[in-house]
Amino acid sequence: MHQLATLDYIVFFVYFLIVAGYGLWIYNRKTGHDGTIEGDSKDYFLAEGSLTWWAIGSSLIASNISAEQFVGMSGSGFKMGLAIATYEWMASITLIIVAVFFIPVYLKNRIFTMPQFLHQRYNGTVAMIMAIFWLLLYVVVNLTSILYLGAIAVSSIAGLNLNFCMYALAIFAVIITLGGMKVIGFTDVIQVFFLILGGLATTYLALTLVAEHNGTTGILNGFSIMKSAANDHFHMIFKRDNPNYLDLPGLTVLLGGMWIVNLNYWGCNQYITQRALGADLPTARGGLLFAAFLKLLMPVIVVIPGIAAYVLYKQNVFGAGEFGSGADLNPDRAYPVLLNILPVGLKGLSFAALTAAVVASLAGKANSIATIFTLDVYKKVINPEASEKTLVATGKIAVVIAMILGVLIAPHLGIDKKGGFQYIQEYTGFVSPGIFAMFILGFFWKKATSSAALFATIGGFLLSVLLKFLPGMMDLSFLAPFGFAVRPEGSSIYEIPFLDRMGFVFVFCIIGMVLISLLENARGVKTNGLEIDSSMFKPHATFIGGSVLIIGIIVALYSVFW
């Protein structure tokens, strides 16, 4: 039944009132009685010195987990199984690396935005090109996909009009975002609470349903039945004959392109790093470590329900047409279909969790758009003499305009027809290798030049496009023995898995940057090295202990589900 009962609406509105009320309280705490903000633009955009480790960690996860995961990753769980969890579990190790090596560089050099880093390390041209690029990417790709996929999920569960859902999500996100990063950070703690509670409830009910349909009870029995009924869905490393090898090419998820996906996303992304840039180093590291622990839990919330939906689908539990059939089979329906079979009240809680994930991601993305536009475009080009009050007001206007653009553009991009999680990962991968190469050499190699950075950005994108279409131009079967090319079932063309393409492009960009930089160094071109000393990379003993525990858990998980 694709609608919510009265109790579901009550649960949802209680969630809405708690988040909105808490956000208003946080906002009033940082304003005077006359409504003027006590602080400056950095307080508004970064909540400088205000966020605790648990608020930073919660905000990171709330911003990261959205319809992309709930809908797209559950769909991938339905289609390919637990292997898709590599994005979450490898992210845990990535967060530790970012906390140890990336965040200290940003904080030591007082870097608050990614374009500011590029300006400081390379030059204004590189910074401005990337600022405009990131604004377009965040508005046209990220904001619209979060908004539209979220609206589709909410609409399919509540039975409400799609456009109404999109407008409601946008308005809710704007209300939170206008309060600034402090409000976003602390309300994200509540959002994550609902997200995890509702997500775990959905997983519990899905496993229970599997058990009951097979004549037994209990979630452990349900999980055991799932492993037996869908054994092929419980392997983390695919062999070359697996039909999903193009998406997750074997050991590449441990040794290759998956590192570029994660390190670029968690370490070179304004949308994510912004949460930690306003804190001191111990607090930022604590927040990233907390987020790493939460990341371990995410596959339980988003992947296991997808596998449960697959088992129930194969056992004909769902009605005809819920997923489609044959070529029209849509795995991305897995999570919404599961939510629709939850009991009254619990459905409202899970609905609130999904909405929390979408709204938190929208708010975080909108705040990042406003930060880059205000600090890197408006202040540098349009109004260099702008007061702090003007910068904050400009940021708020940017939030509203970005959300309006998102609402207007989203329905015309065909997002619902392009697939979910894997599509987003692949097409983000067209730019990730070049950007990551530019950042990693900018951090740790003082000789890297601005011309080399431009080469990585533009050359990396062009090579990504070339490798995407190369299979149609030449025979790549010579790469097959090495696992770098596979022939999909029913096709005569060998294709390069996109994670391997990212690895090739990254190596190309690094080599190109090194050669260009050495040539320019020989001609006397000056570079702007960052302030770095070895002591800033030494974490606290508590952080080391938590990191060892996380790595140990991941090693155990891969050993069990190899």
CA 2 to CA 358: how far, in whole Å? Answer: 19
Q: Give me the phi and psi of 385, to 5 degrees please.
A: -95, 10
Amino acid 385 reads E
CA 314 to CA 336: how far, in whole Å? Answer: 17
Instruction: Pull the structure tokens for residue 513.
Output: 């940057």
Q: What is the DSSP letter of 37?
A: B
pLDDT band, residue 412 (cuts 50/70/90): confident
Task: Read off the pLDDT of each residue in 501-530 and give the average, rounded to a whole number.
Answer: 90
In this prediction, residue 33 carries a pLDDT of 38
CB within 8 Å of 163: residues ≥ 6 apart: 151, 411
Q: What is the mean pLDDT of the chain?
A: 82
Most confident of 155-159, 403-407, 413-417: 403-407
pLDDT band, residue 34 (cuts 50/70/90): very low
Instruction: Pull the structure tokens for residue 259.
Output: 């590192």
Each domain of the chain, given as residue ranges in start order, spans 43-216+257-414
**Three-state secondary structure string covering 484-507:** CCECCCCCCCCECCHHHHHHHHHH
Lowest mean pLDDT among 77-91, 126-140, 263-277, 415-429: 415-429
In this prediction, residue 37 carries a pLDDT of 40
SS3 134: helix
Distance of CA 458 to the CA centre of its chain: 23
Task: Read off the pLDDT of each residue in 373-389 and give the average, rounded to a whole number.
Answer: 84
Amino acid 37 reads I
Most confident of 19-33, 185-199, 444-458: 444-458
In this prediction, residue 125 carries a pLDDT of 85
In this prediction, residue 455 carries a pLDDT of 92
Amino acid 244 reads N
In this prediction, residue 288 carries a pLDDT of 92
In this prediction, residue 40 carries a pLDDT of 60
Percent of the chain clearing pLDDT 70 (strictly above) = 88
| More confident: 561 or 195 | 561
Residue 289 bridge partners (DSSP): none
Residue 547 has pLDDT above 90, yes or no: yes
Helices 181-213 + 281-302 axis angle, to 10: 30
Residue 552 has pLDDT above 90, yes or no: yes
In this prediction, residue 20 carries a pLDDT of 75
In this prediction, residue 550 carries a pLDDT of 95
Residue 27 has pLDDT above 90, yes or no: no
Residue 437 has pLDDT above 90, yes or no: yes
| More confident: 134 or 515 | 515
Please, where are the H alpha helices in 429-473? 432-444, 450-469
Task: List strand residue ranges (DSSP E) for 23-116, in order.
Answer: none
In this prediction, residue 21 carries a pLDDT of 79
Instruction: Pull the structure tokens for residue 294.
Output: 């939460």
In this prediction, residue 110 carries a pLDDT of 81
pLDDT tens digits, one per residue of 200-259: 888 888 899 889 888 888 888 989 999 888 888 999 998 888 888 888 888 888 888 889
In this prediction, residue 381 carries a pLDDT of 83
Check if the beta carbon of residue 460 is closer than 8 Å to that of residue 431.
yes
Give the Cα-Cα-Cα angle 73, 75, 79 (nearest 5 degrees). 115
pLDDT tens digits, one per residue of 244-303: 888 888 888 888 888 998 898 888 877 677 667 767 888 889 989 999 999 999 899 889
Most confident of 91-95, 129-133, 202-206, 421-425: 91-95
In this prediction, residue 50 carries a pLDDT of 63
Class of 43-216+257-414 per CATH? Answer: mainly alpha
In this prediction, residue 487 carries a pLDDT of 80
Residue 61 has pLDDT above 60, yes or no: yes
